[in-house]
Amino acid sequence: MHFTNNKTLFTLIGIALCVTASATPVDEVLVIDEELEMTTRVQAVEGHPISEIYSGWHYRTPETRALEADSFANPGMLGVEQGEEIWHTVEGSEGKSCASCHDDAAVSMKGVGANYPKWDEKTQRPKNIEAQINSCRVENMGAEPYKFDKGGQKPLTAYIKNQSLGMPVELDLSEGEMQSWWEKGKETYYLRTGQLNLSCASCHEQNHGKHIRADHLSQGNVNGFPTYRLKQNKLISLHNRFRGCIRDTRAEFPDAFSDVLMGLEVYTTWRGTGLSVETPAVRQ
Amino acid sequence: MEIRFLSCAVFVCSAAYFTFAQADTAPGDVEINAISIDKPLTDVAGDPANGKKIFINRKQGNCLACHANSDMKDQLFHGEVGPSLDGAGTRWQEDHLRTILVNAKAVFGDQTVMPGFYSLEVGADVRKDLIGKTILQAQDIEDLVAYLSTLK
């Protein structure tokens, strides 16, 4: 056994990294149903640590990418259709459906999902689509709020976001205290958690493009949520994904819609500024 | 006469060593000098065959998550987050490999993503049932050191 000095060591590591750096995002264009060209790579917004932003689509297998390019084959579209049914279903003490007030979602909800989370004056915190749905259910319909991931929460969120398919994600951080929630989210993003001592950045910023065992690491962008995960055969909400990634560091994970995860949603959404809304994206 | 005296001394010595080092070195008591831990964490010599198993096992080392290793080509999916470990036993001495495994930060700096496998310097909000516990046990580290040393 010989001890090689650090310089040689780092050269060796450098060579190893060069050899394995081939697993970069694919150089292809996502066109849905041969007509809607999506922005899946974009110059990063100012202040972003990565210069070019890629949708998770670029890191998936050819088969998975093809599923997303064809809305008939995309299994997530079943959830969207379910969401459409719920949109027209009367519920609650007021005898109303979403459509009673918002009419045709293709018109009233177009572009809405691309700009969430938004500042909510009433609660003095950011609201995501899930929170807005619950607020309409409670205040405008006299219905029960959906519990996390339950009832119509995922399909209805997917339906509303799908009305913005292809539109660029953009947040208004000047509303209310959005900026301070962005800061909180950023702290969470770089906080190392769990026994494995990893942060979001350890995987999605420092190592995107590389494989971690069988998984090809993306930049962890959120523009496709709720996404359809082939592994789990269902729509997966964003906060479920957040919790899964934190759990994998062997840490306790925060509640869905908690301040910590709302901050993280604001911050990660900002990181994907300019990417098209892809809901329902197809992932492995 | 001289020979007899020597073997006697060796006997006394090893007996003393056994009683002294019966317990594994606790994570907080491991002495790291620069990047070296020259004292094994246990008094049982590392078993390279078991080290190889720990390397593969997802619930233990799960080293393949981040490292490729040509010695286990039969295993699907080798990670790319860290460098290939081919030749690691040539690049590193045992006492340095031990440090990399105990607490990679001591060798690569705080920014490394490689977890400390026998360290209590962990991240925030550790899962409740894992508080105060290390990822691997002292003997696992010795087995891994023995295994990595075979990668020439």
pLDDT of amino acid B22:
56
Which of A33-37, A66-70, B31-35, B145-149 shows the lowest mean pLDDT across its residues? B31-35
Q: What is the mean pLDDT of residues B87-92?
A: 97
Question: Is there a contact between B124 and A212 if contact means CB atoms under 8 Å apart?
Answer: no
What are the backbone angles phi and psi of residue B145, rounded to the nearest 5°?
-60, -45
Question: Is there a contact between A16 and B113 if contact means CB atoms under 8 Å apart?
Answer: no
**A112-165 pLDDT, tens digit each:** 999 999 999 999 999 999 999 999 999 999 999 999 999 999 999 999 999 999
**A246-261 pLDDT, tens digit each:** 999 999 999 999 999 9
Q: Are B38 and B44 in contact (CB under 8 A)?
A: no
pLDDT of amino acid B13:
39
Q: Is the ipTM of this complex over 0.90?
A: no
**A52-61 pLDDT, tens digit each:** 999 999 999 9
- Per the structure, the count of domains in chain B is 1
Q: Is the pLDDT of residue A72 over 80?
A: yes
pLDDT of amino acid A3:
40
Chains A & B: contacts with CB separation below 8 Å:
107
Specify the CATH number for the domain of residue B117: 1.10.760.10
d(CA A262, CA A59): 26
Q: Delineate the domains of chain A, giving CATH numbers in brackets.
A: 9-74+170-283 (1.10.760.10), 77-162 (1.10.760.10)
Question: Is there a contact between B135 and A193 if contact means CB atoms under 8 Å apart?
Answer: no
**A5-58 pLDDT, tens digit each:** 444 444 344 433 333 334 589 999 999 999 999 999 999 999 999 999 999 999
Enzyme catalytic residues of A: 245
Q: Is residue B22 situated within a structural domain?
A: no
What residues form DSSP beta bridges with A182?
none
Q: What is the DSSP letter of A194?
A: T
Question: B142: domain range?
Answer: 32-149
Closest by Cβ to A16, choosing from B84, B96, B116: B84
Question: Is there a contact between A251 and B91 if contact means CB atoms under 8 Å apart?
Answer: no
Q: Are A208 and A24 in contact (CB under 8 A)?
A: no
Greatest C-alpha distance within chain A = 79
Taking Cα atoms as reference points, which of B101, B58, B95, B63 lies closest to residue B82? B63
Taking Cα atoms as reference points, which of A68, A102, A67 lies closest to residue A223? A68
**A206-215 pLDDT, tens digit each:** 999 999 999 9
Banded model confidence at residue B5, pLDDT cuts 50, 70, 90: very low
Q: What is the mean pLDDT of residues B118-147?
A: 98
Chain A contacts to B (CB-CB under 8 A):
1-4, 8-9, 12-13, 16-17, 19-21, 23, 191-199, 202-203, 206-207, 210-214, 217, 246, 249-253
d(CA B51, CA B68): 16
Q: What is the mean pLDDT of residues A92-105?
A: 98
Over chain A, what is the mean pLDDT?
93
Which chain A positions have a beta carbon within 8 Å of B92's beta carbon? 1, 3-4
The helix (run of H) or strand (run of E) holding residue A54 is strand A52-54
**B93-113 pLDDT, tens digit each:** 999 999 999 999 999 999 999
Which chain B positions have a beta carbon within 8 Å of A17's beta carbon? 83
Closest by Cβ to B113, choosing from A1, A191, A207: A207
| Residue to substitute from A17, A191, A197, A246, interface B, most B β-carbons within 10 A | A197
pLDDT of amino acid B92:
97
- Sort residue A27 into left (φ over 0), alpha (ψ -120 to 50) or beta: beta
- Sort residue B136 into left (φ over 0), alpha (ψ -120 to 50) or beta: beta
pLDDT of amino acid B11:
38
Residue-by-residue DSSP string for A68-119: HH-TTT-TTHHHHHHHHHHHT--BTTTTB-HHHHH--HHHHTTTTGGG-SEE
pLDDT of amino acid A21:
38
